[in-house]
Amino acid sequence: MKITKVECLTVHPGWRKNLIFVRVETDAGIVGWGEAYSQYDRDRAIAAQVEELGRYVVGRDPFQIRHICQVAFDDYAQRRASLEFHCAVSGIEQALWDIVGKATEQPVYNLLGGKTRERIRVYANGWGYKLREVADYARAAEKVVESGFTAMKLDPLPRPWRTFIPRQHIRQSVDIIRGIRDAVGPDVDILLDIHRRLAPMHAIELANALAEFEPYWFEEPCQSENIQALAEVRASSPIPTVTGEALYGRAGFRPVLRERAVDIINPDVANCGGILELMYIAAAAETEMIACSPHNYNSTTLALSATVHASACMPNFIITEYFIPFEELGAKLCSNPLKPVDGYITLPDGPGLGLDVNEEAVRSMPGKPFPKRDLPLPENEGPRNTALSKAF
C-alpha cells in the first residue's frame, strides 16, 4: 500500500481559530484523517507546512510511520524544527495511524500495546471565555458541572499578558476562584492555566494566594523554556505545577524532565509530533514519576480521538482537555464524535481513530481570516500593568 495524496483542509469553527484537518489517501482506497494544532493568525503558515511536507510523504508506505517522521525531521527540516513543522508532522502522523488501524481492523490503542484503562477523564475548557465578573464565572461554572463535568480549567488573570503584574491582578484572581469554588462545591476540580505569563515571584505569590481553594494544578506559570524559573515555582508552590503545551518533541521535554521542574506535563498530540511521539514523551515522564495530562486545544473530533487513544496506553495519564465551544461543530463534522459522560470518555472500539468523518461537511466550512485583533500600543502600557506586587 502506498500513499497517493496528502491534503490539508482548514475549517472555520466560528470561534477563536481555524482548525486544520489532514486527509491522507492510499492506493488501497483507505483514507486516514488527522488534525494539526493551530493558532489564530498562524494557521495559514501551519497549513502551508502540511502541504509542503505532504509532497514528500506521497509514494511512501503508510505503515512506516516511525521512518516517515524521522525523515521529516532529519532530511526535510534538516533538524531545524518549529511550531509549524511539529504541527504538520503531528497531523500527518495521526492520519497514518488512522490508515494502519483501518487496514488491520484495529483501534489505534491496540496497536500501541493495548489499553490500560476503559475510560478517559476530561476537564472542560473554553467555558469562561471573555467573562469578567465573579458572578458570571460562578454561573458559567455551575452550568459546566450541571452538564456532567467534574473538572474545569480557566485562566483567572486579567489581560494583557505581562511578566510583571500589579497586586490587583492577584486579588482579582482570588475573587474569581473563590466565587467558582463557592458555586461548584469542594469536590469539583479547578485547574488554573497561567499561560506562561508570570515572573516566578508573581507566580509563587499567586499560587499561595489561591491554595486555600485547593486547585487541581497550576499550569504554565512561567515561560516553558526557562527551566530554572519553573523549578523555582514548583519548589515554592503549594499547588502541583504543569508545563508542556509549548514544548515540541522529546528533545523539548528533556530538560524539564531531567530537572524535575514540574509535577505534570501536558504535551499536545497535534503539535508535539503525533501519537507515537506523545507516547515517547509520556514514557520518559513516567520514569521520573511525573504525570502526563495531554493538552488538547483542538476540535472534539480527530485530535481528541488521537489523544484518547494515546492516553489509554499511558500508565501515568491523569486527565485530558475537552473544549466545549467546539462541541457543536464536532457533531457536524463527525457522525460519531467522542462525548463525555459524567466527566469521562469511553474508548472508541472502531478501527483506526474510530471516527466517521463527514468529508462533505469538512469541505463546506473552509477556513477564513479572523478579524484583526486589537493588540496593545505603547500608550496602553503603564504603571497599572507593570507595577510589581512586592517591593525589592
The residues that are catalytic are: 195, 295
Of 372, 373, 358, the closest CA to residue 11 belongs to 358
The three grid cell numbers given for residue 275, joined into one nine-digit string: 501519537
Cα–Cα distance for residue pair 218/186, rounded to 1 Å: 17
For the packed helices 302-311 and 83-104, what is the interaxial angle rounded to 10 degrees?
70
**82 φ/ψ sector (left φ>0, alpha ψ -120 to 50, else beta):** beta
Cα–Cα distance for residue pair 101/104, rounded to 1 Å: 5
What sections of 21-154 are H helices per DSSP? Answer: 43-57, 65-71, 83-104, 108-111, 134-146
- DSSP code of 75? I
Q: Using CB atoms within 10 A of its CB, is residue 43 exposed (0-12), middle (13-18) or buried (19+)?
A: buried
Tell me which residue has cell 489505534: 108
Tell me which residue has cell 475510560: 119
Length of the chain: 392
Specify the 3-state DSSP secondary structure of 226: coil
What is the radius of gyration, based on Cα positions, of the chain?
A: 21
Cα–Cα distance for residue pair 291/176, rounded to 1 Å: 27
Cα–Cα distance for residue pair 160/50, rounded to 1 Å: 32
Specify the 3-state DSSP secondary structure of 345: strand
Neighbours of 35 (CB within 10 A): 28
Helix (H) or strand (E) holding 219: strand 217-219
- Asked whether 118 and 346 are in contact (CB, 8 A), the reply is yes
Q: Characterize the bridge pairing of strands 19-26 and 3-11.
A: antiparallel
Cα–Cα distance for residue pair 358/361, rounded to 1 Å: 5
